[in-house]
Amino acid sequence: MNFEVTILGSGSALPTLRRNPTAQYIACNDRHILIDCGEGTQNQLRKFGVKIQKINHILISHMHGDHFFGLVGLLSSMHLLGRDNGITIYGPKELEQIIRLQLEIGGAKMNFNMNFVVLDNSKPTVIFEDKMIEIHAFPMKHRIPVNGFRIQEKVKSFNIIGEVFKESGLSLMAIPFFKKGEDFVDEEGKIHFAEDFVMAKKPSKSYGYCSDTAYFEPLIDSIKGVDLLYHEATFVEKLADRAKATFHSTAKEAATIAQKANVKKLILGHLSARYDSGDDHLKEAQTIFENTVIVEDGMVFQV
């Protein structure tokens, strides 16, 4: 079971040569997810060795250009490279029109199905679910409607310890009960405890993504206890006024959210182009939440 996050762009609205605008690639149990898609994302995917045709879910948090200007180019390239597998794109309602209009004007007839799903943004929602993963969207607070995301491994069934089960001589009818972690009562009314027959289950991992947002405590419920949290930290406290005015967060605010949500590890990005380094962000965040890393383009994190 792999679950990793590749940072494709760690910058904010104004890209720099060091920090591309926002995009992340998440591989989770053979599901391939792109979160946000700033200009140049397709090149970052190439640069960091991600196979772009593997991506089958694209999540767009909001309609600021540094989070979606690269989407139309990525979809064009998927088409030119011969894609025929459909793709699902989750985002604000305006996204579909913007993308289709640009492709139609150029006369492109896409060979694959683009399935746009509108995110409602009024409350936390499960937007995708299969037997391996769940994707949750939840509202945050910005100048325009914005969603955060949580990607979560599914709680998987218990593995039965073959030898123990064999020796017990129990009927095969017991297996579905044990797999669900339930005890089994045999025909004679005897209780067989699941915990005696199954291996310890690995805890399901989860990843939280919060960009862009002002300091916003209501989102804490949606990312409670995640193994890895990405939170925007456009500014440091010195520019707290600017953060407030633009509905962004400071590094300290991001760390406060991480602490209150009791996450295991915090990674910070979306740094304003005015900062040459993230040293001050890191210092500030670590006064509140020690296990913090400032991301750079190309970094890969295991969840």
Size of site (CB under 8 A) for its own copies:
36
Instruction: Say how many C-beta atoms besides its own lie within 10 A of residue 30's C-beta.
Output: 11
Q: How far is the CB of 112 from its own copies (least distance, A)?
A: 16
**Which segment (75-83, 125-133, 185-193, 285-293) binds its own copies by CB under 8 A?**
75-83
- Evaluate whether 254 touches 285 at the Cβ level (below 8 Å): yes
**Contact map string, positions 31 to 70, toward its own copies, x by CB under 8 A:** --------xx-xx--xx---------------xxxx--xx
Strands (E), 155-291: 184-185, 191-192, 206-210, 228-232, 265-269
Half-sphere exposure of 60 (CA within 13 A, CB side): 29
CA-CA distance, 76 to 103, in Å (whole number)?
A: 8
169 makes contact with its own copies (CB under 8 A): no
Catalytic residue among 36, 66, 227, 297: 66
CB of 69 to its own copies, least distance (A): 5
Closer to its own copies at the Cβ: 80 or 164?
Answer: 80
Closest to its own copies by CB, 100 vs 192, is 100
Q: Which of 29, 56, 76, 88 binds its own copies (CB under 8 A)?
A: 76
Classified as helix, coil or strand, 137 is strand
Pairing mode, strands 228-232 and 265-269: parallel
Task: State the minimum distance, in angstroms, from the CB of residue 99 to its own copies.
Answer: 10
Residues 6+ apart with CB under 8 A from 260: 217, 220
Q: Are 11 and 2 in contact (CB under 8 A)?
A: no
15 contacts its own copies (rule: CB under 8 A):
yes
Report which of 99, 79, 85 is spatially closest to residue 54, judged by C-alpha positions. 85
Task: State which residue, 215 or 247, has the beta carbon closest to its own copies.
Answer: 247
66 labelled catalytic: yes
Binding to its own copies by CB under 8 A, coded x per residue (else -) over 97-136, reads: xx--xxx-xxxx----------------------------
Q: Give dist(CA 126, CA 138) in Å, integer.
A: 9
Kindly state whether residue 238 participates in binding its own copies, applying the rule CB under 8 A: no
What tokens appear for 261 in the block? Answer: 């949500």
Binding positions for its own copies, rule: CB under 8 A: 13-17, 20, 39-40, 42-43, 46-47, 63-66, 69-70, 72-73, 76-77, 80-81, 94, 97-98, 101-103, 105-108, 143-144
